[in-house]
Structure 1
Amino acid sequence: MTTKISIIVPCFNEEESAPLFYQAIAETFQKLPNYQPDILFINDGSTDNTLNKLRELQADPTIESHYLSFSRQFGKEAGVYAGLKNVDGELVTIMDADLQDPPAMLIEMINLLETTDYDCIGTMRSDRSGEPPVRSFFSNLFYRIINQISQTKIVPGARDFRLMRRGMVDAILEMSEYNRFSKGIFSWVGFKTKYLPYQNVERVAGSSSWSFWSLFKYSLEGITDFSTVPLIIAGWLGLIVMAIAFVSLIFIFFQTIFVGNPTKGWASTISLILFLGGLQLFFLGVIGNYIGKIFMEVKHRPLYIIKEKK
Structure 2
Amino acid sequence: MPQLTVVVPAYNESAVLRSFHERLRKVLDGLPLACDVLYVDDGSHDDTWSIIESLVAADPRTGALKLSRNFGKEAALTAGLDAVLADAAVVIDADLQDPPELIPALVEQWQAGYDVVYATRSAREGESGFKRLTAAAFYRSMERLSDTMIPRDTGDFRLLSRRALDALRQLRERQRFMKGLFSWIGYRQTAVHYQREPRQAGTTKWNYWRLGQLAIEGITSFSTAPLRLATWVGLAAAGVSFAYGAFVLVKALLYGDPVRGYPTLILVVLFLGGVQLLALGVIGEYLGRNYAESKQRPLYFIEERRTPRAPR
State the secondary structure of the residue aligned to 1:58: helix
1:206 to 196, 202, 207: 202
1:64 equivalent in structure 2: 61
Once the two structures are superposed, what CA deviation does each residue of 1:215-248 show, in whole Å capped at 9, x if it has no partner? Answer: 0110110000000110011111111111111111
1:177 equivalent in structure 2: 173
Equivalent pairs counted in the alignment come to: 306
State the secondary structure of the residue aligned to 2:123: coil
Map residues 144-155 of structure 1 onto 2, 5 A cutoff: 144-155=140-151
Letter aligned with residue 102 of structure 2: M
2:104 equivalent in structure 1: 107
Query: Whose RCO is larger (CA < 8 A, sep 6+)?
Result: 2
2:93 equivalent in structure 1: 96
1:246 to 233, 242, 246: 242
Deviation at 1:214?
A: 0.5
Deviation at 1:164?
A: 1.4
Letter aligned with residue 21 of structure 1: F
Q: Does 1:37 align with 2:35?
A: yes
> Whole-Å Cα distance in 2 between the matches of residues 128 and 53 of structure 1?
28
1:133 to 129, 132, 136: 129
Once the two structures are superposed, what CA deviation does each residue of 1:84-123 show, in whole Å capped at 9, x if it has no partner? Answer: 1111110111000111111111111112221x22112110
2:44 to 27, 43, 46: 46
The answer on whether the counterparts of 1:18 and 1:53 sit within 8 Å (CA) in structure 2 is yes
> Whole-Å Cα distance in 1 between the matches of residues 67 and 257 of structure 2?
71
Deviation at 1:29?
A: 1.9
Normalized against structure 1, the TM-score is what?
A: 0.96
Letter aligned with residue 29 of structure 1: L
1:162 equivalent in structure 2: 158
Shift of the 239–231 alpha-carbon distance from structure 1 to 2, 3 Å rule, reads same
State the secondary structure of the residue aligned to 1:19: helix
State the secondary structure of the residue aligned to 1:202: coil
The answer on whether the counterparts of 1:256 and 1:263 sit within 8 Å (CA) in structure 2 is no
Root mean square deviation, CA, Å: 1.2
The answer on whether the counterparts of 2:127 and 2:198 sit within 8 Å (CA) in structure 1 is no
| Displacement over 3 Å in runs of 4+ | none
1:216 equivalent in structure 2: 212
Deviation at 1:261?
A: 4.9
Deviation at 1:130?
A: 2.0
Unpaired segments of 5 or more residues in structure 1?
none
% identity of equivalent residues: 37
Letter aligned with residue 50 of structure 2: N
The answer on whether the counterparts of 2:105 and 2:192 sit within 8 Å (CA) in structure 1 is no
State the secondary structure of the residue aligned to 1:135: helix
The answer on whether the counterparts of 1:255 and 1:262 sit within 8 Å (CA) in structure 2 is no
Deviation at 1:158?
A: 0.7
Once the two structures are superposed, what CA deviation does each residue of 1:264-284 show, in whole Å capped at 9, x if it has no partner? Answer: 221221122112112211221
Deviation at 1:263?
A: 6.7
State the secondary structure of the residue aligned to 1:87: coil
2:23 equivalent in structure 1: 24
Letter aligned with residue 27 of structure 1: K
Unpaired segments of 5 or more residues in structure 2?
307-312
Letter aligned with residue 302 of structure 1: P
1:294 equivalent in structure 2: 290
Normalized against structure 2, the TM-score is what?
A: 0.95
Once the two structures are superposed, what CA deviation does each residue of 1:181-240 show, in whole Å capped at 9, x if it has no partner? Answer: 011011111111111111121112111111011001101100000001100111111111
Letter aligned with residue 30 of structure 1: D
The answer on whether the counterparts of 1:147 and 1:153 sit within 8 Å (CA) in structure 2 is yes
1:11 equivalent in structure 2: 10
Deviation at 1:141?
A: 1.0
2:310 equivalent in structure 1: none
Deviation at 1:30?
A: 2.2
> Whole-Å Cα distance in 2 between the matches of residues 30 and 42 of structure 1?
21
> Whole-Å Cα distance in 2 between the matches of residues 74 and 49 of structure 1?
18
1:73 equivalent in structure 2: 70
The answer on whether the counterparts of 1:14 and 1:206 sit within 8 Å (CA) in structure 2 is yes
